[in-house]
């Protein structure tokens, strides 16, 4: 586009536009914007927009490379006056066809962009331009029915973005607004997900049936409220219609919102359901599981402990079996929950059999005897079991059955072990490769000048560089140690006790990898400090980020790697002392 013409459209210089009247329909920017598009970008250019339309009316429906009209641009920027001018011009009757007024206006309003298929109303809603929304829906109330390529209607977008005024405007102006959104969701789904109780109230006042509509997976707005732990909104929805608490999803094991609350581990949410629908505790999912099954399966120990102290009918739930015949106690046997109170519960049926003819004690013995001796102790009511032979019946048939199940469990573990083994050996190999390469590509490079120091590391006298060398060596040593341990595991393939022998060496290898990774982080910090000595701000930033990562790792995994951390802290302290002594020697 001619620079003089572009500036005239931008600044609203009508005289220059009149001088280039014959060029107005041909001049385009790199994105195919016309002078009308350019003028529409500025809110104080109403007179310029009007003059351009008078000089070249064909520019009104003109589009750029994205399919946007001047109306789209003005709507996005919230230029109310420009929108009025464009609509007034569109309503001007043609001298040739006076009845074309409505057709031109509707055509302009319903034009969509190429990719997202957004109308000007979509643009106005996305950018919270309330004035523009009022103008557009007043001009054509049916415009709110148009969905874009993502199946989002303007009302859905407004609810999703918590634009309460726009939601109110569309609901009040349009007699039958479209509520649709992607994946079968409605504007009420969007309002719940956005946690906007005001929008929820407006939508329900308009159409209360929205509360029962599920998306393509059968999830109602209440499902999303339960999944997101929105207690206040859940209370609001149940207060409107209690029957929605009993609606199940089409998929996800046909869970109700109450089941989702148990899966999420929200005791407050479950109390809201209990308050409105006391009988909801009787509901089960597609697999016949009650909320206690689901809470145990998802290892929500805190929730279960709170339920035990609450008025929930735990006694009845403990007896219920799912489609596999498992009671909650059976599932507890294979979970990582530590809830002895549940095992000691007077209603807990410790002798119930599932469809595999196993009691909860049988499940523990066959699957997790090594890891869950405390459960065995609780179930068998013994004080110090030395093994599963001491806590099961001495009946020969029963003993043979448990031996068979235990052997079957070991076979299963032997089949799954290679997946973790392959991943760990790959990580160990990568660390060893990287640290080995770093040993010969040290920070700062090597001295290439002739003399006695030729080939020596340039930063060899730098304390941070020395710490880098020590850290990198530790990382390399421990990664190679992990590789050796993992290689030794392959020697035991085919042995009956392969899993027990491999497990010890595998966890040792994991511990070595942990030290190696921590040492790699230290080498990154010290190596960066060595080469960034002249840029102290950048060096401090790198050090802070690296230390923060180490701190987060230590906090999250201290309990699991307690002994390793103690040794590693000793290593860091010794390295620090060595660095200080080296720095003192350098100064001397």
pLDDT tens digits for 100-139? 555 678 888 999 999 999 999 999 999 999 999 999 999 9
33, two tokens: 């914007």
Residues 126, 161 contacting (CB under 8 angstroms):
yes
pLDDT of residue 407: 45
pLDDT bucket at 399, cuts 50 / 70 / 90: very low
Task: Give me the long-range contacts of 24-30 (CB less than 8 A, separation at least 24).
Answer: 24/52, 24/55, 24/56, 24/59, 25/56, 25/58, 25/59, 27/1, 27/2, 28/1, 29/1, 29/64
| H or E element in which residue 240 lies | helix 231-240
Q: How many residues does the chain have?
A: 588
Q: Which residue has the higher pLDDT, 412 or 418?
A: 418
Checking if the pLDDT of 254 tops 50, the result is yes
Checking if the pLDDT of 97 tops 60, the result is no
Taking Cα atoms as reference points, which of 81, 82, 148, 72 lies closest to residue 109? Answer: 72
Report the share of the chain in percent with pLDDT over 70. 73
Q: How far apart are CA 424 and CA 483, in angstroms?
A: 9
pLDDT bucket at 71, cuts 50 / 70 / 90: very high
Residues 356, 321 contacting (CB under 8 angstroms):
no
pLDDT of residue 107: 86
pLDDT of residue 396: 41
- The torsion defined by the Cα of 571, 576, 578 and 583, in degrees rounded to 10, comes to 160
Count helices and strands in the chain by DSSP H and E runs: 29, 0
Residue 390 is given by DSSP the state G
Q: How far apart are CA 542 and CA 473, in angstroms?
A: 21
pLDDT of residue 237: 95
pLDDT of residue 169: 95
375 contacts: CB under 8 Å, gap ≥ 6? 332, 333, 340, 343, 364, 368
Checking if the pLDDT of 96 tops 50, the result is no
Checking if the pLDDT of 489 tops 60, the result is yes
pLDDT of residue 309: 86
Phi, psi of 289 (to 5 degrees): -95, 135
44, two tokens: 């104080």
pLDDT bucket at 276, cuts 50 / 70 / 90: very high
Checking if the pLDDT of 164 tops 80, the result is yes
Instruction: Let me know if 394 is exposed, middle or buried by CB neighbors in 10 A (0-12, 13-18, 19+).
Output: exposed
pLDDT bucket at 350, cuts 50 / 70 / 90: confident
| CATH class of the domain defined by 413-587 | mainly alpha
Highest average pLDDT, of 89-93, 107-111, 362-366, 420-424, comes from: 107-111
Q: How far apart are CA 506 and CA 514, in angstroms?
A: 12
pLDDT of residue 315: 81
Comparing 94-98, 486-490, 520-524, 574-578, which segment has the lowest mean pLDDT? 94-98
Q: How far apart are CA 334 and CA 325, in angstroms?
A: 15
Q: How far apart are CA 151 and CA 218, in angstroms?
A: 17
Comparing 17-21, 258-262, 474-478, 534-538, which segment has the lowest mean pLDDT? 534-538
pLDDT bucket at 563, cuts 50 / 70 / 90: low
Q: Which residue has the higher pLDDT, 258 or 487?
A: 258
The β-bridge partners of 225 are none
Taking Cα atoms as reference points, which of 226, 262, 263 lies closest to residue 244? Answer: 226
Query: Mind giving me the DSSP string for 94-145?
Result: PSS-GGGHHHHHHHHHH---SSS---HHHHHHHTT-HHHHHHHHHH-GGGGG
pLDDT bucket at 509, cuts 50 / 70 / 90: confident
Comparing 19-28, 154-163, 492-501, which segment has the lowest mean pLDDT? 492-501
pLDDT bucket at 301, cuts 50 / 70 / 90: confident
Tell me how crowded residue 139 is: count the other CB atoms within 10 A of its CB: 18
Q: Which residue has the higher pLDDT, 465 or 450?
A: 465
Checking if the pLDDT of 168 tops 80, the result is yes
Mean pLDDT of 129-153: 93
Residues 122, 71 contacting (CB under 8 angstroms):
no
Map residue 444 onto helix, strand or coil. Answer: coil
Mean pLDDT of 569-585: 55
Q: Which residue has the higher pLDDT, 532 or 519?
A: 519
Residues 265, 298 contacting (CB under 8 angstroms):
yes
Q: Is 48 left (phi over 0), alpha (psi -120 to 50) or beta?
A: alpha
pLDDT bucket at 152, cuts 50 / 70 / 90: very high
pLDDT bucket at 444, cuts 50 / 70 / 90: low
pLDDT bucket at 242, cuts 50 / 70 / 90: very high
pLDDT of residue 252: 82
SS3 letters across 33-93: CCHHHHHHCCCCCHHHHHHHHHHCHHHCCCCCCCCCCHHHHHHHHCCHHHHHHHHHHHCCC
Comparing 19-23, 95-99, 392-396, which segment has the lowest mean pLDDT? 392-396
Mean pLDDT of 479-486: 83
Q: How far apart are CA 260 and CA 396, in angstroms?
A: 44
pLDDT of residue 151: 94
List, in sequence order, the alpha helices (H) in 450-561. 463-489, 498-531, 536-557
pLDDT of residue 555: 62
Checking if the pLDDT of 400 tops 70, the result is no
């Amino acid at each position: 586009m001619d620079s003089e013409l572009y500036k005239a459209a931008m600044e609203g210089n009508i005289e220059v536009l009149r001088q280039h009247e014959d060029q107005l329909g041909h001049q385009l920017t790199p994105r195919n914007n016309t002078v009308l598009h350019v003028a529409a970008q500025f809110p104080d250019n109403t007179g310029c927009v009007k003059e351009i339309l008078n000089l070249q009316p064909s520019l009104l429906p003109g589009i750029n490379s994205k399919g946007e009209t001047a109306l789209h641009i003005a709507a996005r920027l919230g230029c109310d006056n420009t929108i009025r001018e464009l609509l007034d011009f569109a309503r001007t009757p043609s001298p040739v066809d006076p009845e074309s007024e409505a057709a031109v206006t509707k055509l302009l309003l319903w034009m969509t962009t190429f990719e997202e298929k957004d109308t000007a109303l979509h643009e106005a809603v996305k950018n919270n331009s309330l004035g523009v929304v009022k103008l557009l829906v007043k001009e054509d109330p049916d415009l709110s029915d148009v969905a874009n390529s993502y199946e989002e209607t303007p009302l859905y977008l407004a609810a999703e973005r918590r634009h309460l005024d726009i939601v109110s405007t569309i609901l009040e102006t349009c007699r039958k607004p479209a509520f649709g959104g992607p994946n079968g969701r409605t504007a009420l789904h969007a309002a719940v997900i956005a946690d906007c109780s005001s929008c929820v109230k407006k939508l329900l006042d308009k159409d209360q049936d929205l509360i029962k509509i599920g998306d393509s997976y059968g999830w109602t707005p209440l499902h999303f409220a339960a999944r997101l732990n929105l207690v206040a909104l859940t209370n609001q929805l149940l207060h409107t219609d209690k029957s929605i608490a009993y609606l199940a999803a089409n998929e996800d094991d046909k869970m109700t919102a109450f089941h989702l609350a148990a899966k999420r581990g929200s005791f407050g949410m479950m109390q809201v359901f209990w308050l409105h629908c006391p009988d909801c505790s009787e509901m089960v999912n597609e697999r016949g599981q009650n909320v206690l099954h689901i809470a145990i399966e998802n290892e929500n120990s805190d929730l279960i402990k709170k339920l035990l102290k609450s008025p929930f009918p735990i006694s009845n739930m403990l007896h219920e079996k799912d489609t596999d015949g498992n009671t909650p106690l059976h599932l507890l046997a294979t979970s990582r929950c530590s809830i002895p109170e549940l095992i000691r519960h007077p209603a807990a049926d410790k002798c119930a059999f599932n469809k595999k003819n196993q009691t909860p004690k049988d499940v523990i013995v066959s699957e997790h005897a090594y890891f869950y001796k405390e459960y065995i102790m609780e179930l068998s009511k013994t004080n110090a079991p030395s093994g599963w032979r001491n806590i099961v019946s001495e009946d020969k048939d029963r003993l043979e059955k448990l031996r068979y199940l235990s052997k079957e469990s070991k076979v299963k573990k032997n089949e799954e072990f290679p997946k973790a083994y392959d991943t760990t050996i790959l990580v160990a190999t990568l660390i060893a490769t990287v640290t080995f390469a770093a040993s010969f590509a040290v920070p700062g490079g090597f001295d290439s000048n002739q003399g006695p120091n030729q080939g020596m590391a340039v930063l060899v006298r730098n304390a941070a560089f020395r710490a880098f060398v020590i850290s990198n060596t530790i990382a390399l040593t421990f990664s190679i140690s992990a590789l050796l341990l993992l290689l030794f595991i392959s020697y035991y393939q085919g042995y009956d006790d392969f899993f027990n022998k491999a497990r010890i060496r595998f966890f040792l290898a994991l511990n070595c990898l942990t030290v190696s990774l921590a040492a790699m982080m230290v080498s990154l910090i010290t190596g960066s400090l060595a080469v960034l000595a002249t840029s102290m701000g950048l060096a401090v930033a790198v050090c802070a980020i690296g230390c923060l990562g180490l701190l987060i790792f230590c906090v999250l995994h201290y309990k699991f790697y307690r002994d390793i951390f103690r040794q590693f802290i000793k290593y860091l302290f010794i390295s620090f002392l060595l660095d200080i002594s080296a720095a003192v020697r350098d100064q001397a």
